[in-house]
Amino acid sequence: MKFAYIILTLACAACASAQSFPPVTSEALQALIDLDELRGGAQQLQDFAYAYPDRNRVFGSSAHNDTVNFLAEVLRSTGFYNVEVQPFVELYSGGDSALTINGVPTNNTLFTYTPSGTATAPLVAVSNLGCATSDYPPQATGAIVLISRGNCTFAQKVTNAAAARALAAIVYNNIEGTIAGTLGGLGEYVPTVGTDLATGKSLLASLQNGTNLIATLEVNSVLENRTTFNVIAETKSGNHDSVLALGAHTDSVEAGPGINDDGSGTIGLLNVAIALSNFTVTNAVRFCFWSAEEFGLLGSTYYVTTLNETAPQELAKIRAYLNFDMIASPHYAYMIYDGDGSAFNLTGPAGSAEIESMFEDYYTAAGKTFNATAFDGRSDYGPFLDVGIAAGGIFTGAEEIKTDEGQDIWGGEEEIAYDVNYHQAGDNIFNLALDAFLLNTKLIAHSVATYATTFDSLPLPASLSRRHAREMKMRRDSYAGADIHGHFHHHCGTEDAEL
């Protein structure tokens, strides 16, 4: 009797658990993705931002801390994940600046990681793009220099300006729109601001016809070490030696609440994670919510480099990393990272091509046309590429103007950027494309169900050739840092290598 009772209990437990947790399938997981939940999540992030005067979610701010705590709490409450809140310290840069030319207030934006300083001095134009020290005339010494964006990093230009003993630098844009530059970190720099193309051209015209311009530039830069957090949630179940990792970034820029960039990826991932808790998985799934992406991929870089140094065998267990940074741009295109290098010749580690085809097949089945976007490492997947992990992801576009052909395919108006609110106050819940938000979150669900079940469609990871990894990294960096067309990519990581 006793024996039979035990058998019965065990059988029932097994049966009950099998009933409540069936193996995940793409269809079943996608069916749990609900637009109201996505909207509610995006609203929650916006509420965090708008609860404070700065109305943003910059890393280390109260609203960003609230975002981190919210994610950790929701993920823990499912009971399905081991949740780690990983602290790290990085240098924050903020502050303000003022510029007058011959006493007239002039458009300017503070560069990230600029030193502070005040100067009143003649404005002097540099030759070419200021990428060579020979571009700086003798008059640059003791002057404020005017430099065009393009061909090399901002850091390179401003290092040259400092070497020429200029007092400060103004970098004007080479495309329409605000220039939001970063020097990428501390260096031998002079106080630096950016200005728009029209302002730059008109100053240049005045200088070229012999008008003397006296500039007064005041830069108050706030540089402080801030503690911030990545949130890493891994399924308790599944094979932890064979892991699917996915990521989105939780921080915004200073200018706005960051609801498309990257509230959309954050909430998309969170909702897939919640839905996944109703299933069983074969491979473990790790949801990563990165901080400080906007200051140069700082959270994901910290995570990968720390593991690389302390437990490289853990990195080897990550079979694929998928990145979701901006998935609901108001004037969207469906774009997939070019993992096979067919469009941009920046091929990812073995497996990246197969990940790209998995996303292509998804859009094809959904009746959507897609395009490739450069696999240049300028979002949180970059650090994973650097250690040879297969990667992929999607992107609905940032400040670049949609092509006429793109309008025919995905709709929209003439001459408009994919996201006109990119890095602006208007990146809020009212400006999300909800159809793209829903479809792309279902796409995330599809990719999770696929790889949580099996990695059979991916080649076994090739052992990393350090030389090859270094070469590919150099090509990615030079692609992102030397774009002769003057367009730039969407994340802050981009801007440190900006033209």
Ligand X SMILES: *[C@@H]1O[C@H](CO)[C@@H](O)[C@H](O)[C@H]1NC(C)=O
User: Residues in the site for ligand X, rule: CB under 6 A?
Assistant: 32, 60-62, 65, 78, 80, 107, 128-129, 151, 178, 196, 198-199, 202, 205-206, 209, 211, 223-225, 227, 274-275, 277-278, 305, 308, 333, 343, 345, 371-372, 386-387, 403, 405-406, 409, 466, 475, 484
The whole-angstrom distance between residue 106's C-alpha and the CA centroid of its chain comes to 30
Residue 405 interface partner, choices ligand X, Zn ion, none, CB cut-off 5-8 Å depending on type: ligand X
- Binding string, residues 185-224; x marks residues near Zn ion by CB under 5 A: ----------------------------------------
496 binds Zn ion (CB under 5 A): no
Scan residues 10-69 and list those touching Zn ion (CB under 5 A).
none
Long-range contacts of range 367-373, CB-CB < 8 Å, 24 or more positions apart? 368/334, 368/439, 369/334, 369/409, 369/410, 370/334, 370/335, 370/336, 371/333, 371/334, 371/335, 371/336, 371/406, 372/335, 372/336, 372/337, 372/338, 372/342, 372/343, 372/344, 373/335, 373/336, 373/337, 373/338
The whole-angstrom separation of Cα 442 and Cα 29 is 8
Residue 325 interface partner, choices ligand X, Zn ion, none, CB cut-off 5-8 Å depending on type: Zn ion
DSSP assignment letter at 417: B
E strands, 18-158, are 81-101, 104-105, 109-110, 117-125, 144-148
Which among 263, 268, 258, 273 has a CA at the least distance from the CA of 74? 273
Q: Which is nearer to Zn ion, 259 or 449 (CB)?
A: 259
Whether the Cβ atoms of residue 432 and residue 438 lie closer than 8 Å to each other? no
Whether the Cβ atoms of residue 59 and residue 251 lie closer than 8 Å to each other? yes
Q: Which is nearer to Zn ion, 191 or 265 (CB)?
A: 265
The whole-angstrom separation of Cα 137 and Cα 317 is 54
Strands 104-105 and 335-337: unpaired
At closest approach, how far in Å is the CB of 381 from Zn ion? Answer: 12
Residue 209 interface partner, choices ligand X, Zn ion, none, CB cut-off 5-8 Å depending on type: ligand X
CA angle at residue 448 from 283 to 274, to 5 degrees?
Answer: 100
Q: Please identify which residue in the block is written with the tokens 């099998």.
A: 18
At closest approach, how far in Å is the CB of 467 from ligand X? Answer: 11
Q: Which residues pair with 88 in a beta bridge?
A: 228
Residue 90 structure tokens: 């990085």
Q: Which is nearer to ligand X, 406 or 481 (CB)?
A: 406
Residue 454 interface partner, choices ligand X, Zn ion, none, CB cut-off 5-8 Å depending on type: none
Q: Which is nearer to Zn ion, 299 or 481 (CB)?
A: 299
Instruction: State the number of binding residues for Zn ion (CB under 5 A).
Output: 4
Residue 155 interface partner, choices Zn ion, ligand X, none, CB cut-off 5-8 Å depending on type: none
Whether the Cβ atoms of residue 83 and residue 72 lie closer than 8 Å to each other? yes
Q: From the list 336, 491, 497, 499, which residue makes contact with Zn ion (rule: CB under 5 A)? A: 491
Q: Which is nearer to Zn ion, 325 or 399 (CB)?
A: 325
| Part in contact with Zn ion (CB under 5 A); list of ranges 43-51, 69-77, 151-159, 484-492 | 484-492
At closest approach, how far in Å is the CB of 277 from ligand X? Answer: 3
At closest approach, how far in Å is the CB of 86 from ligand X? Answer: 12
Burial of 16 (0-12, 13-18, 19+ CB in 10 A): exposed
Residue 264 interface partner, choices ligand X, Zn ion, none, CB cut-off 5-8 Å depending on type: none
The phi, psi pair for 180, rounded to 5°, reads -120, 90
At closest approach, how far in Å is the CB of 354 from ligand X? Answer: 20
At closest approach, how far in Å is the CB of 27 from ligand X? Answer: 14
Residue 409 interface partner, choices ligand X, Zn ion, none, CB cut-off 5-8 Å depending on type: ligand X
Residue 491 interface partner, choices ligand X, Zn ion, none, CB cut-off 5-8 Å depending on type: Zn ion
293 is catalytic: yes
489 binds Zn ion (CB under 5 A): no
Annotated catalytic residue, options 90, 234, 254, 293: 293
Q: Which is nearer to ligand X, 9 or 73 (CB)?
A: 73
The whole-angstrom separation of Cα 490 and Cα 486 is 13
At closest approach, how far in Å is the CB of 71 from ligand X? Answer: 14
Helix (H) or strand (E) holding 192: strand 192-195
Q: Which residues pair with 320 in a beta bridge?
A: 244
Q: From the list 251, 325, 380, 419, which residue makes contact with Zn ion (rule: CB under 5 A)? A: 325
At closest approach, how far in Å is the CB of 206 from ligand X? Answer: 4
419 binds Zn ion (CB under 5 A): no
Residue 370 structure tokens: 């897609």
Instruction: Write b or e for each residue in 47-76: b if 16 or more Cβ atoms lie within 10 A of its Cβ, otherwise e.
Output: ebbeeeebbbbbbbbebbbbbbebbbebbe
Residue 196 interface partner, choices Zn ion, ligand X, none, CB cut-off 5-8 Å depending on type: ligand X
Q: From the list 254, 262, 400, 483, which residue makes contact with Zn ion (rule: CB under 5 A)? A: 262
At closest approach, how far in Å is the CB of 195 from ligand X? Answer: 8
- List, by residue number, the catalytic residues: 293
Query: What does the binding site for Zn ion look like in residue numbers (CB under 5 A)?
Result: 261-262, 325, 491
